[in-house]
Structure 1
Amino acid sequence: MPMLKIFVGTMYGGALDVAEQIAPLFEAAGYETAILEQPTLEDLTEERPDLALFCVSTTGSGDFPGNFVPFARGLDEQSPALVGLRYGLIALGDSSYGDTFCGAGRRLDEMLEDLGATRLGERLEIDAMETFMADDAALPWAEEWIETQQLTVA
């Protein structure tokens, strides 16, 4: 059974809630899933998943949440080759912050791409100013992502 790892970067639990709501969709599509609340670079490099999904909220001035900083720092400092890694990305933010809206997700996307990873489909950006419950936007996106990227293995 292929493995999907969901890497979570969250400050108040919104991104974790999205991950927990989405995981059953991938289980139904034939994946073994793991939600990583304290992700490490080794979770990605030493036991590379068949598919990765990043659910990352943005804090402050476009920063990564505290639980995600060690992972992002590892990516930046170690620059592991991620050629062959397929991933999706859900970025959570607040458009009232202007230029830094979804800054952590956008920065992570650039980092992964620079290391050779391939994003499947478009990045989902969820605006807290427009969507009260992030999973209201994330669930339909994940269903469509599974379908359009032909990710079903069951």
Structure 2
Amino acid sequence: MHIVVLYGTESGNAEDVAKGIQREFRDLDVEIVNMADAAPDVFTPEPLYLIACATHGGGELPGFAQFLHDDLLEIGPDLSGVRYAMFGLGDTSYDERYNRGAKQFDALLTGLGAERVGPFGEHDVMTRQLPAAVGVAWAREVLDTVDV
């Protein structure tokens, strides 16, 4: 199975998660794609998408993730058959805005017909855990729930 790890980042933590997943699962076909380089047609039914998305500032998506989000919203493609899992990176000190970026992206994808699989993963910077370690553990949980 082809796995696409799509990431949106400002500080590099979501990229670290993506690279950690690729290293951990090197026996699988894992491709990393930065949302900065992705167009709405990145989503096709064949791969499983593992999406790591940070929340920036006061609850916004990272800049390039916002562009992809807005393009998907404007075009409104039918994403039926697309399977993805979502991992958010945020800071619980922002209360209701914690992981808002990933939650926005998640809502958009399901609204376009994509199916979320596995648990919604979360990393809280306040725990001082390494984002990549938490992300790899989440990816392992996701992959245990799907056929790879």
TM-score normalised per structure 2: 0.90
State how far apart, in whole Å, the 2-side matches of 1:131 and 1:75 are.
Answer: 33
Aligned to 1:12: 11
After the TM superposition, which residues 111-150 of structure 1 pair with which residues of structure 2 at under 5 Å, given as runs?
111-150=108-147
Where 1:88 maps in the other structure, the secondary structure is strand
Two-structure CA RMSD over aligned residues (Å): 1.5
Q: Does 1:72 align with 2:60?
A: no
1:98 to 79, 95, 118: 95
State how far apart, in whole Å, the 2-side matches of 1:25 and 1:81 are.
Answer: 32
Aligned to 2:86: 89
What one-letter code is carried by the residue in structure 2 that aligns with 1:23? Answer: Q
TM-superposed CA distance for 1:42, in Å, is: 2.4
Where 1:129 maps in the other structure, the secondary structure is helix
- The answer (yes or no) to whether the contact 1:25–1:143 under 8 Å persists in 2 is no
Kindly provide the CA deviation profile for residues 92-134 of structure 1, in whole angstroms up to 9, marking residues without a partner as x: 0000111100000011111111111001111101111113311
TM-superposed CA distance for 1:67, in Å, is: 2.0
What one-letter code is carried by the residue in structure 2 that aligns with 1:59? Answer: H
TM-superposed CA distance for 1:24, in Å, is: 3.1
Kindly provide the CA deviation profile for residues 19-69 of structure 1, in whole angstroms up to 9, marking residues without a partner as x: 0000134442x32x2211222212225xx5421111100012211101212
- The answer (yes or no) to whether the contact 2:84–2:117 under 8 Å persists in 1 is yes
* Structure 1 gaps, min length 5: none
What one-letter code is carried by the residue in structure 2 that aligns with 1:87? Answer: Y
User: Residues 27, 66 of structure 1: CA spacing in aligned structure 2 closer, same or farther, 3 A cutoff?
Assistant: same
* Structure 2 gaps, min length 5: none
State how far apart, in whole Å, the 2-side matches of 1:63 and 1:140 are.
Answer: 25
User: Residues 26, 84 of structure 1: CA spacing in aligned structure 2 closer, same or farther, 3 A cutoff?
Assistant: farther
